[in-house]
């Protein structure tokens, strides 16, 4: 059974999903502002398309019909457009979300609808959450359909920004995040013997230190030399002192320390890991 993981989690707008493979991954849940923009985009697309079709239909109806048949074709066009207006109002969102999991407006804002267990939604969920927009629009259902007071209140109160339709259909709107594969941080040029000699064996960094140094090493190509020096000097002297490495070049010191901390004891580690030849 797939269910959201209940454990200590940081105060954030993520939702953790545990898969049958016992992998836990997090989805970033989309907030009201982004979803409002997506909704407005969808409305523009819908009613823009509707207006375009209406112009075409009326042009054809008036243009091709003779004088006697005009009322007939006019009536037929009105009937068709009323059905289309119904489709725009009640079917557009449901059909697109059931089919693609997203609508053009949502896709433009990088949003996707999932069930609370992290699966794509089916037609039932899509229909339910979109029919219930009428409840989210309360108490202004007739006057201002796109200002949803009840929906906004519900999003504020619930953990995962669910409006009423989301609550009933057990759905969430997430921003799937596809990071590009990053190259591992590699010490370059490789550690020289004299550097290795000075670096102590027991280099241990806690998670925060590791992350800070790694972020710095990944970004340092984009920094100016002065800025790089300035940033490195904020922690390099302290860490250098801790591991007995005098910081002539603070950036290089950080790179050495990071390399040893990250690769110590790893199977095919470079010499800087301080375990010479033991894991070849």
Partner 1 sequence: MELASAPTEAAFAGRRRLDWERLDAVVRTAQRRGLPALTPEQVGLFSPLYRDVCADLAHAQAVRYSAPLVDYLQGLAAAAHTVLYSGRTMRSVRGRRSWVRVALEAFPRAVRRHRVAMLVAFLLFFVPLFGGLVGSLADPGFAARIVPESQLRTLADAYREGFDAQRGAGADAAMAGFYVNNNVGIALRCFATGLAFGLGSAFYLVENGLATGAIMGYVAAHGAGANILTFVVGHGSLELGAIALAGGAGLQLGWSLVSPGDRTRVASLQASARSVVVVVFGAAVMLFMAAAVEGFWSASSAPATVKRGVGLAMFAIVTAYIALGGRGSAQAEAMERIEAGRWT
Rounded Cα distance, 97 and 182, in Å: 32
Min dist CB 247 to partner 1, Å, is 23
Give 42's contacts (C-beta < 8 A, 6+ positions apart).
Answer: 92, 93, 103, 104, 105, 106
Min dist CB 278 to partner 1, Å, is 9
Q: Which of residues 5-24 bind partner 1 (CB under 8 A)?
A: 17, 19, 21-23
Hey, how many other C-beta atoms are within 10 angstroms of the C-beta on 174?
Answer: 23
Q: Does the footprint of partner 1 cover residue 263 (CB under 8 A)?
A: yes
Stretch of 71-79, 225-233, 237-245, 246-254 contacting partner 1, by CB under 8 A: 71-79
Of the pair 35, 260, the CB lying nearest partner 1 is at 260
Q: Which of residues 194-223 bind partner 1 (CB under 8 A)?
A: 207, 210-211, 214, 218
Of the pair 230, 266, the CB lying nearest partner 1 is at 266
Q: Which of residues 105-164 bind partner 1 (CB under 8 A)?
A: 112, 114, 118-120, 122, 124, 127-128, 131-135, 138, 141, 164
Of the pair 150, 229, the CB lying nearest partner 1 is at 150
Residue choice 31, 48, 176, 190 for contact with partner 1 (CB under 8 A):
176
Residue choice 44, 52, 55, 75 for contact with partner 1 (CB under 8 A):
75
Of the pair 21, 226, the CB lying nearest partner 1 is at 21
Measuring CA to CA, which residue among 178, 98, 108, 175 is closest to residue 131? Answer: 98
Rounded Cα distance, 191 and 118, in Å: 45
Min dist CB 235 to partner 1, Å, is 18
The crossing angle, in degrees rounded to 10, of helices 207-219 and 250-263 is 130
């Amino acid at each position: 059974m797939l269910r959201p993981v209940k454990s200590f989690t940081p105060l954030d707008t993520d939702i953790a999903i545990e898969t049958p493979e016992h992998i836990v991954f997090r989805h970033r849940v989309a907030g009201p502002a982004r979803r409002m923009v997506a909704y407005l985009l969808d409305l523009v697309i819908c009613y823009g398309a509707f207006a375009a079709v209406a112009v075409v239909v009326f042009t054809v109806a008036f243009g091709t019909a003779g004088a006697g048949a005009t009322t007939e074709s006019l009536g037929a066009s009105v009937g068709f457009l009323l059905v289309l207006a119904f489709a725009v109002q009640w079917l557009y969102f449901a059909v697109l979300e059931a089919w693609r999991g997203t609508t053009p407006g949502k896709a433009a804002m990088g949003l996707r609808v999932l069930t609370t267990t992290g699966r794509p939604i089916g037609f039932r969920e899509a229909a339910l959450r979109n029919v219930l927009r009428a409840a989210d629009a309360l108490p202004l259902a007739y006057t201002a359909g796109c200002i949803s007071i009840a929906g906004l209140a519900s999003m504020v109160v619930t953990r995962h920004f669910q409006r009423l339709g989301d609550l009933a259909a057990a759905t969430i709107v997430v921003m799937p995040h596809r990071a590009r594969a990053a190259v591992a941080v590699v010490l370059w040029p490789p550690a020289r013997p004299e550097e290795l000699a000075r670096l102590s064996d027991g280099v241990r960094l806690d998670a925060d230190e590791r992350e800070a140094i790694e972020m710095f090493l990944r970004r340092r190509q984009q920094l100016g030399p002065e800025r790089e020096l300035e940033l490195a000097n904020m922690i390099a002297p302290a860490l250098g002192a801790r591991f007995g490495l005098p910081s002539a070049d603070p950036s290089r010191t950080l790179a050495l320390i990071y390399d040893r901390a990250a690769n110590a004891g790893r199977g095919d580690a470079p010499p800087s890991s301080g375990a010479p030849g033991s894991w070849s």
